[in-house]
């Protein structure tokens, strides 16, 4: 599976899981059974979704991860082959590929997730070192916190040393070493994650700016705080600008919108777009993704996002 000697624009470290998505009017309470309105199984995991988003968003993309040798692992490999993603994957004989339970509210598209990383829980700093060259040769490196933090740290350190632009998506909200902040050219928390990192409740743009200031104080280059249907705040020492989300007719499923944002941000930065324009592109892609069911399957192509952006 290891694809040696390739140079990619965007390299993403993260997990793949099979998403098992159940739609219903509401979540059952403990001890209760309710009838749902839909079910779908498909490729997921934040890092893997971001890799699909980046590839569809126009970047030659590599993905570093760990799978089991099972049906869900086969689903992963088939997805990456179809999307033209360069795979830097090891496969465990013993550990299963991970899975996620996803509840989707069939009225609002809101979601709740339980994710079990499976084999990807054993990604280590050594896994990253084994892929040093492709990270060092990339234009943009992206990671999150679904795999062990030591691997995220090792990837960000390698990328920084090589002047590869770093995007750190601190999701889900887990603790991580303070030294990570100074390794982030871009940090991309949503409002909940920004609050957990800074202790500042984020319920307005002004709150987000204060949280952004706290993240700058900790050493990040630019804070990109995503605020759901309101859009994203671009905040650094020179510029603080709210980039509004695109308007959509009907929200079907919000799961993976953050992944659409991060993957497309990376793709746009890698092709040299001005950072504010890259955020506009990422916002539009995230807006399109929520109009479709699923996570990776909902990612728009570069052409679709560019057309939507050109309509304003
Ligand atoms: O960001 C959405 C993703 O988070 C889902 O695909 C699910 O697998 C969880 O990892």
Q: Three-state SS for 26?
A: coil
Quick check: CB of 113 below 6 Å from ligand 1? yes
Does residue 172 surpass a pLDDT of 60? Answer: yes
What spacing in Å lies between the alpha carbon of 115 and ligand 1's midpoint?
7
Q: Does the pTM exceed 0.95?
A: yes
What spacing in Å lies between the alpha carbon of 237 and ligand 1's midpoint?
32
Q: What is the mean pLDDT of residues 263-282?
A: 98
Does residue 4 surpass a pLDDT of 70? Answer: no
- Give the residue, by CA position, lying nearest to ligand 1 atom 1: 256
Quick check: CB of 18 below 6 Å from ligand 1? no
304 and 310 Cβ atoms separated by less than 8 Å: no
Q: What is the mean pLDDT of residues 31-52?
A: 98
CATH architecture of the domain 10-310 equals 3-Layer(aba) Sandwich (3.40)
User: If pLDDT is split at 50, 70 and 90, which confidence band does 3 have?
Assistant: very low
- Give the residue, by CA position, lying nearest to ligand 1 atom 2: 256
Does residue 6 surpass a pLDDT of 50? Answer: yes
* C-alpha to C-alpha distances, 107 to 36, 230, 259, 306, nearest whole angstrom: 12, 19, 22, 29
Q: What is the DSSP letter of 301?
A: P
Question: Which residue among 254, 295, 296 has the greatest number of ligand 1 atoms within 8 angstroms of its CB, and so is best to mutate?
Answer: 295
Does residue 107 surpass a pLDDT of 90? Answer: yes
Query: Could you read off the pLDDT of 121-135 as tens digits, one per residue?
Result: 999 999 999 999 999
- Give the residue, by CA position, lying nearest to ligand 1 atom 8: 45
Phi, psi dihedral angles at 227 (to 5 degrees): -125, 40
Does residue 284 surpass a pLDDT of 90? Answer: yes
CA distance 247 to 273: 23
What spacing in Å lies between the alpha carbon of 17 and ligand 1's midpoint?
8
User: If pLDDT is split at 50, 70 and 90, which confidence band does 5 have?
Assistant: low
Per-domain boundaries in the chain? 10-310
CA distance 23 to 32: 16
- Give the residue, by CA position, lying nearest to ligand 1 atom 7: 45
Q: Tell me the pLDDT of the chain averaged across its residues.
A: 97
- Out of 121-125, 143-147, 247-251, which region has the weakest mean confidence (pLDDT)? 247-251
Query: Could you read off the pLDDT of 78-89 as tens digits, one per residue?
Result: 999 999 999 999
What spacing in Å lies between the alpha carbon of 46 and ligand 1's midpoint?
5
Q: What is the mean pLDDT of residues 247-260?
A: 96
Q: Three-state SS for 204?
A: coil
Residue 102 alpha carbon, nearest atom of ligand 1:
7
Query: Could you read off the pLDDT of 215-240 as tens digits, one per residue?
Result: 999 999 999 999 999 999 999 999 99
Alpha helices for 176-234 (secondary structure H): 191-198, 205-217
Does residue 2 surpass a pLDDT of 90? Answer: no
* C-alpha to C-alpha distances, 119 to 13, 77, 154, 174, nearest whole angstrom: 14, 14, 19, 19
What spacing in Å lies between the alpha carbon of 255 and ligand 1's midpoint?
7
259 labelled catalytic: yes
């Amino acid at each position: 599976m290891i694809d040696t000697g390739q140079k990619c624009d965007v390299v993403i470290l993260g997990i793949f899981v099979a998403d098992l998505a159940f739609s219903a009017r509401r979540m059952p309470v403990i001890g209760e059974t309710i009838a749902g309105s839909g079910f779908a199984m498909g490729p997921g995991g934040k890092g893997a979704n971001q890799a699909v988003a980046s590839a569809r968003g126009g970047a030659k993309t590599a993905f570093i991860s760990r799978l089991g040798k099972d049906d869900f692992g086969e689903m992963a490999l088939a997805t990456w082959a179809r999307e033209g993603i360069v795979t830097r994957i090891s496969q465990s004989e013993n550990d299963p590929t991970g899975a996620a339970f996803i509840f989707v509210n069939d009225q609002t598209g809101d979601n709740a997730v339980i994710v079990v990383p499976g084999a990807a829980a054993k990604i280590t700093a050594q896994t990253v070192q084994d892929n040093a060259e492709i990270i060092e040769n990339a234009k943009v490196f992206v990671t999150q916190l679904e795999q062990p933090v030591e691997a995220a740290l090792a990837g960000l350190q390698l990328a920084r040393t090589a002047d590869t632009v770093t995007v750190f998506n601190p999701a889900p909200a887990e603790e991580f070493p303070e030294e990570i902040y100074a390794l982030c050219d871009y940090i991309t928390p949503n409002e909940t994650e920004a609050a957990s990192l800074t202790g500042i409740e984020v319920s307005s743009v002004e709150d987000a700016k204060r949280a952004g200031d706290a993240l700058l104080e900790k050493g990040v280059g630019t804070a990109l705080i995503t605020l759901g249907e309101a859009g994203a705040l671009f905040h650094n020492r020179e510029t603080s600008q709210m980039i509004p989300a695109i308007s959509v007719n009907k929200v079907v499923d919000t799961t993976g919108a953050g992944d659409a944002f991060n993957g497309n941000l990376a793709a746009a930065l890698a092709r040299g777009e001005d950072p504010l324009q890259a955020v506009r592109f990422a916002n539009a892609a995230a807006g399109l993704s929520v109009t479709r069911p699923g996570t990776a399957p909902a990612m728009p192509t570069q052409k679709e996002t560019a057309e939507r952006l050109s309509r304003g």
